[in-house]
Structure 1
Amino acid sequence: MTKIVILGGGYAGLRTVRQLAAAKVDAELVLVNQNSYHYQSTQLHQVAAGTKEVADITFDIQGVLPRGVKFVLDRVTTIDREQHRVLLASGSELSYDYLVNALGFESESFGIPGVEENSLPLVDIPTALRAKEELENHLARYQYSHDENDLAIAVCGAGFTSIEYMGELAYRLPKLSKQYHFPLDKVKISCIEAADKILPMFEPDLAVWARQYLMDHGVTFYTSTSITAIEPGKVISKDSSFNANTIIWATGVKGSKVIADSGYDQKRNRVIVEEDLSVKGNPCEFLIGDVCAAMDPNTHRPYPTTAQISVVQADCAARNIEARMQGRPGIPFTYTSTGTVCSLGPLAGVAQINFLGHWKLKGMKVGLVKKITSDRSAFELGGVKAMLESN
């Protein structure tokens, strides 16, 4: 029997499994993931800030898999593409006829010295929990240390993760102040960004509103400020430095290192794929999600890696595998964004919605939009059970 192996239990991998199972393809379906749970990566910042618990953004993978799908709990180390084998950390291996590689992302240091040793990325559940622990330890320590750096938080980058994290942090800090007995007015949140603006994916007026909202809640922005090094308790730029005992690193991500380790032609562990999302020269291998560089015909640049685009890519890859198995031509990947939502804590945010027109939203109403978006994502990946588990 034909064997289809899907690597990664994130947005792209889980959606692919569900679509292939729904299509009733005549094949054995195998999903490989290093964790027994799926986590909503778009909500990791909430765990890091302490406004959500791990259980709020996770659900059990095996509990939502379609009947007949085999689940392998293991970590992928490399892919032997010539022999059609996936090598696993346990020492075992999986053969495949079709491969869907959706292994997800890792933090990108851009080669800046000290990043990995001295800062806190937000890329999975363990890193989010570590960021929360470090933050609260420093805040709690202030009443004994009286070290102002214990109340200083440096956030590196001004993209989605950074902005949403600072929004959650601003919301929670008053409660933390009462819990750990530190003066709220002495907390210093600095956001250091190399570009000259924040949230470049939003229209300028919404980005300006988000920036002002965070400034009103204690965030100081340092744009056009390139980071040259991270030292213990210090972010270094060309012209200045920022002292902080909590340093969050959210400047960008790259694809899984398995891509480079497996010999793909890649850049930042992303591979430029064919129109149907297959790998050039290997029509039975598909790359989707964070390891995929699908080209936008309008900009001639790769689409950004988002949860929304990962789900659409999964649908396309599943349809093309089904078509290839049946001897039919596949379809090219096309994408039209339905909108973008950026929360600034549970009570505010900005959004661009492309549904029945083009809508621009800001303020409290965005919190409801964000919740609807998160619930819909969980439902698409695991049905009603997953949606209820991650609430």
Structure 2
Amino acid sequence: MSRIPRIVILGAGYGGIVTALRLQKQLNYNEADVTLVNKHDYHYITTHLHMPAAGTDKPDNARVSITKLIDEFKIDFVKSTAVQIRTQDQKIVLEEGTLSYDYLVIGLGGEPETFGIPGLKEHALNIRSINSVRYIREHIEYQFAKFKREPSRTELLTFIVGGAGFTGIEFVGELADRMPELCKEFDVDPALVKIYNIEAAPTALPGFDPELVEYAMNVLRNKGVTFKIATAIKECTPDGVTLATGEEIKSATVIWTGGVRGNHMLEEAGFETMRGRIKVEDDLRAPGHDNIYVLGDCSIVMSPEGRPYPPTAQISMQQAEVCGHNLISQIRGADLKKFEYKPKGTVASLGRGEAIGIVGSRKIKGGVASAMKKIIDLRYLYIIGGIPLVLKKGRF
């Protein structure tokens, strides 16, 4: 190929931004044209969104300007929304214009998976972006203000969180921490506030260590969270939820954290998908497409036991390192690397000063786990932005 190959990266989430930074660091000038496409001009730290959603931190602390991270002499940044992937002629259709590619990296992130539960899409809120968490925060505050005008409507002070995976558990921990502050600000009796965490699986944090799960649930119960485990939501309405048991819980606030599926554009582009996600080859390429890599929530990577790994920030970052290596190898005619996920530990926060985690084979909880969570956050900031970003954003 006499002309310079064109690499297009769709999405500036964990997978997209780390891939771009790897290419920026290791590609020579004029070795490839790299374009990063994202609908916002910032990268947001998804694992931090539960805090601004609850109102325990500012939304701006969860985002980083993309142009502050990339070298614009090596990476072209296009602020736009992709609307179609045309694999047959190697083009991406944007809201305004098109982009051609020789190599494509799909890191578009996921969309809420509602499992066909009626009303969830229409009536539940989702912790998915800076804008969505800003809306959730303002919505929660508005319920307190509204209650002061309509004190008979106690459902305004009932908050339902569907799903007790990592996002759901971390969010209810922050939400429970925020409630005393809101009760004081609006002069509301704390006894009127109710927080429900509803999970269809037999346990909270499915797949996590049972001893640590029990510790987490006890911490959150002591903060005022009511759990309904092994209980499915049958329907979500403007007035709350109906459970599979027949119980109705009246609430003006339902926040759904119960699952993620891949981006809708993958199915529309003709890829074979499962819940909107592509089961990638060992080298992270899409089956039948030697020039397309798929990362993060859009990909399925199988464990040695034959089960798909849950889509996490950690796996996306590791995928991005291999994806960057393989793109450079393809351009230079070298061998590609197989992706092997190496778990480095998992930590879930439970609100102020509390967390649980597994690092290696060691179980940690309480203040030690909370400190480890901060270290993990700082490490990511260092990876994408070095010491300056750690000093700027390191307070979380």
Q: Same fold (TM over 0.5)?
A: yes
Q: Is the 8 A contact 1:254 1:270 kept in 2?
A: yes
Instruction: Kindly provide the amino acid, as one letter, of the partner of residue 251 in structure 1.
Output: G
* 1-structure distance, mates of 2:139, 2:98: 38
Corresponding residue SS for 2:205:
coil
Q: Distance in 2 between matches of 1:88 and 1:390?
A: 32
Please give the alpha-carbon distance, in whole angstroms, between the structure 2 residues aligned to 1:175 and 1:388. 28
Equivalent residue in structure 2 for 1:216, among 219, 222, 225: 222
Aligned counterparts of 1:327 and 1:243: Cα–Cα separation in 2: 61
1:329 and 1:193 map into 2 onto residues whose CA distance is: 45
Q: CA deviation at 1:151?
A: 1.1
Which of 153, 170, 173 is matched with 1:167 structurally?
A: 173
2:162: which partner in 1? 156
Distance 2:391 2:16 in 1: 20
Of 248, 268, 287, which residue of structure 2 is paired with 1:241? 248
* 2:149 counterpart letter in structure 1: Y
1:14 is matched with: 17
State the match for 1:362 in structure 2: 365
Q: How big is each residue's C-alpha offset from its partner over 1:46-95, in whole Å with a ceiling of 9 and x where there is no partner?
A: 111001111111110011102421000000111110111111012x1111
Superposed CA deviations along residues 119-166 of structure 1, whole A, max 9, x for unmatched, are 111111111111111111112222221111111111111111110011
Where does residue 2 of structure 1 map in the other structure?
5
Partner of 1:313: 319
Q: Which amino acid is the alignment partner of residue 272 of structure 1?
A: K
Partner of 1:302: 308
The answer (yes or no) to whether the contact 1:58–1:390 under 8 Å persists in 2 is no
- In structure 2, stretches of 5+ residues that fail to align are none
Pick closer, same or farther for the CA change 1:390–1:76 going to 2, 3 Å.
farther
| Residue 264 (structure 2) aligns with | 257
Runs of 4+ in 1 over 2 A off after TM superposition: 381-391
The one-letter code matched in structure 1 to 2:164 is A
Percent identical pairs in the alignment equals 36
1:220-254, Cα deviation, whole Å (9 max, x unpaired): 11111111110112111122111111111111111
Give the CA deviation at 1:367.
2.0
Partner of 1:80: 86
CA contact (8 A) 1:233 1:247 kept: no
Please report the RMSD computed on the Cα atoms of aligned residues, expressed in angstroms: 1.2
> What is the CA–CA distance in structure 2 between the aligned matches of 1:387 and 1:257, rounded to whole Å?
35
Other-structure match for 2:231: 225
Structure 1 residue identity aligned to 2:76: K
Contact 1:11 / 1:381 at 8 angstroms: preserved in 2? no
Please state whether the residue corresponding to 1:365 is helix, strand or coil. helix
Q: Secondary structure at the match of 2:67?
A: coil
Q: Equivalent of 2:200, from 187, 194, 199?
A: 194
Equivalent of 2:380 in 359, 364, 377:
377
- In structure 2, the CA distance between the partners of 1:231 and 1:247, relative to structure 1 (3 Å rule), is same
Within 1, Cα distance between the matches of 2:391 and 2:93?
34
Change (3 A) 1:383 1:261: farther
Q: CA deviation at 1:389?
A: 4.1
1:51 corresponds to 2:56: yes
**8 A Cα contact 1:64 1:386, kept in partner:** no
| Secondary structure of the corresponding residue to residue 292 of structure 2 | strand
Give the match's secondary structure for 1:153: strand
Q: Does the 8 Å contact 2:6/2:33 carry over to 1? A: yes
Q: Give, in whole Å, the separation in 2 of the partners of 1:324 and 1:377.
A: 27
Partner deviation per Cα, 1:305-360 (whole Å, 9 max, x = no partner): 00000000001111111111222221110011100010011210101112xxx221
Rounded to whole Å, the distance in 2 between the matches of 1:133 and 1:263 is 39
Separation in structure 1 between the aligned mates of residue 248 and residue 354 of structure 2, nearest angstrom: 31
Paired AA for residue 376 in structure 2: T
Q: 1:55, 1:389 within 8 Å by CA — same for their partners in 2? A: no
Paired residue for 1:331?
A: 337
Cα offset, 1:388, TM superposition: 3.8
Report the Cα distance in structure 2 between the residues aligned to 1:98 and 1:242, rounded to whole angstroms.
Answer: 50
Structure 1 residue matching 2:336: 3-state secondary structure: coil
Does the CA contact (< 8 Å) of 1:118 and 1:233 recur in 2?
A: no
The alignment covers a number of residue pairs equal to 386
**5+ residue gaps in structure 1?**
none
TM normalised by structure 2 equals 0.95
- 8 Å Cα contact 2:176-2:195 kept in structure 1: no
TM-score where L is the length of structure 1:
0.96
- The structure 1 residue matched to 2:106, chosen from 101, 108, 124, is 101
AA in 2 matched with 1:113: P
Matched AA of 2:281: E
**1:138 alignment partner, SS class:** helix
